[in-house]
Amino acid sequence: MLLYEVTLDAEPALAEQVEEHMRKSHIPTIAATGCFRQIRFCRSSSGRFRTSYAAETQADLDRYVRDHAPALREEFSREFPKGVALSRETWTLREVWGEVLS
Protein backbone atom coordinates (compact mmCIF):
# COMPACT_ATOMS: atom_id res chain seq x y z
CA MET A 1 0.00 0.00 0.00
CA LEU A 2 1.15 3.54 -0.77
CA LEU A 3 0.44 6.60 1.34
CA TYR A 4 0.30 9.83 -0.62
CA GLU A 5 0.58 12.59 1.95
CA VAL A 6 -0.10 16.27 1.49
CA THR A 7 0.83 18.75 4.20
CA LEU A 8 -0.73 22.21 4.22
CA ASP A 9 0.60 25.14 6.21
CA ALA A 10 -2.04 27.87 6.15
CA GLU A 11 -1.69 31.36 7.52
CA PRO A 12 -3.65 31.55 10.80
CA ALA A 13 -6.28 33.86 9.31
CA LEU A 14 -7.06 31.22 6.65
CA ALA A 15 -6.94 28.08 8.82
CA GLU A 16 -10.68 27.67 9.44
CA GLN A 17 -11.54 28.39 5.80
CA VAL A 18 -8.92 25.90 4.58
CA GLU A 19 -10.18 23.20 6.96
CA GLU A 20 -13.78 23.71 5.89
CA HIS A 21 -12.85 23.59 2.21
CA MET A 22 -10.82 20.42 2.66
CA ARG A 23 -13.50 18.61 4.67
CA LYS A 24 -16.58 19.67 2.73
CA SER A 25 -15.32 19.94 -0.85
CA HIS A 26 -11.76 18.99 -1.73
CA ILE A 27 -11.38 15.64 0.05
CA PRO A 28 -14.89 14.38 -0.84
CA THR A 29 -14.10 15.15 -4.49
CA ILE A 30 -10.87 13.16 -4.25
CA ALA A 31 -12.65 10.29 -2.50
CA ALA A 32 -15.14 10.16 -5.38
CA THR A 33 -12.31 9.41 -7.85
CA GLY A 34 -12.11 5.87 -6.47
CA CYS A 35 -8.30 6.00 -6.52
CA PHE A 36 -7.87 5.68 -2.76
CA ARG A 37 -8.94 3.02 -0.28
CA GLN A 38 -8.91 5.39 2.70
CA ILE A 39 -8.30 9.07 3.35
CA ARG A 40 -7.33 10.60 6.70
CA PHE A 41 -7.34 14.32 7.43
CA CYS A 42 -5.47 15.59 10.51
CA ARG A 43 -4.72 18.92 12.12
CA SER A 44 -1.65 19.34 14.33
CA SER A 45 -1.84 23.03 15.17
CA SER A 46 -3.49 26.19 14.04
CA GLY A 47 -3.11 26.15 10.29
CA ARG A 48 -1.12 22.91 9.86
CA PHE A 49 -2.95 20.01 8.22
CA ARG A 50 -1.97 16.64 6.79
CA THR A 51 -4.04 14.46 4.50
CA SER A 52 -2.99 10.85 4.01
CA TYR A 53 -4.42 9.10 0.96
CA ALA A 54 -4.02 5.30 0.97
CA ALA A 55 -3.70 3.82 -2.53
CA GLU A 56 -3.81 0.06 -2.94
CA THR A 57 -1.39 0.06 -5.89
CA GLN A 58 1.03 2.30 -7.74
CA ALA A 59 -1.38 2.17 -10.69
CA ASP A 60 -4.14 3.69 -8.51
CA LEU A 61 -1.86 6.50 -7.40
CA ASP A 62 -0.60 7.06 -10.95
CA ARG A 63 -4.20 7.25 -12.19
CA TYR A 64 -5.00 9.88 -9.58
CA VAL A 65 -1.92 11.96 -10.38
CA ARG A 66 -2.48 11.71 -14.15
CA ASP A 67 -6.27 11.96 -14.43
CA HIS A 68 -7.43 13.96 -11.42
CA ALA A 69 -4.67 15.85 -9.60
CA PRO A 70 -4.07 18.63 -12.17
CA ALA A 71 -7.66 19.92 -12.04
CA LEU A 72 -7.90 19.52 -8.26
CA ARG A 73 -4.62 21.37 -7.71
CA GLU A 74 -5.78 24.17 -10.00
CA GLU A 75 -9.10 24.42 -8.15
CA PHE A 76 -7.31 24.62 -4.78
CA SER A 77 -4.95 27.32 -6.11
CA ARG A 78 -7.92 29.39 -7.30
CA GLU A 79 -9.60 29.03 -3.89
CA PHE A 80 -6.38 29.86 -1.98
CA PRO A 81 -4.02 31.79 -4.29
CA LYS A 82 -1.92 32.97 -1.31
CA GLY A 83 -1.37 32.02 2.29
CA VAL A 84 -1.11 28.23 2.00
CA ALA A 85 2.15 26.32 1.48
CA LEU A 86 1.92 22.69 0.36
CA SER A 87 4.26 19.74 0.34
CA ARG A 88 3.63 16.29 -1.09
CA GLU A 89 5.32 13.01 -0.33
CA THR A 90 4.69 9.35 -1.15
CA TRP A 91 5.40 6.62 1.40
CA THR A 92 5.38 2.85 0.99
CA LEU A 93 3.71 1.08 3.89
CA ARG A 94 6.02 -1.62 5.24
CA GLU A 95 4.24 -2.95 8.32
CA VAL A 96 1.40 -2.17 10.72
CA TRP A 97 1.27 -3.08 14.41
CA GLY A 98 -1.96 -3.11 16.38
CA GLU A 99 -5.46 -2.18 15.42
CA VAL A 100 -5.98 0.26 12.58
CA LEU A 101 -7.80 3.30 13.93
CA SER A 102 -10.54 4.88 11.90
At the second CATH level, the architecture of 2-92 is 2-Layer Sandwich (3.30)
Phi/psi at 69 (5° precision):
-60, -45
pLDDT at 100: 67
CB neighbours (10 Å) of residue 22?
20
pTM for this structure?
Answer: 0.90
What lies within 8 Å, CB to CB, of 32 at 6+ separation is none
Residues of the chain with pLDDT under 50: none
Taking the C-alpha atoms of 44, 48, 53 and 54 in order, what is their torsion angle to the nearest 10 degrees? -30
pLDDT at 101: 65
What lies within 8 Å, CB to CB, of 95 at 6+ separation is none
**Helix (H) and strand (E) counts for the chain?**
4, 4
pLDDT at 45: 84
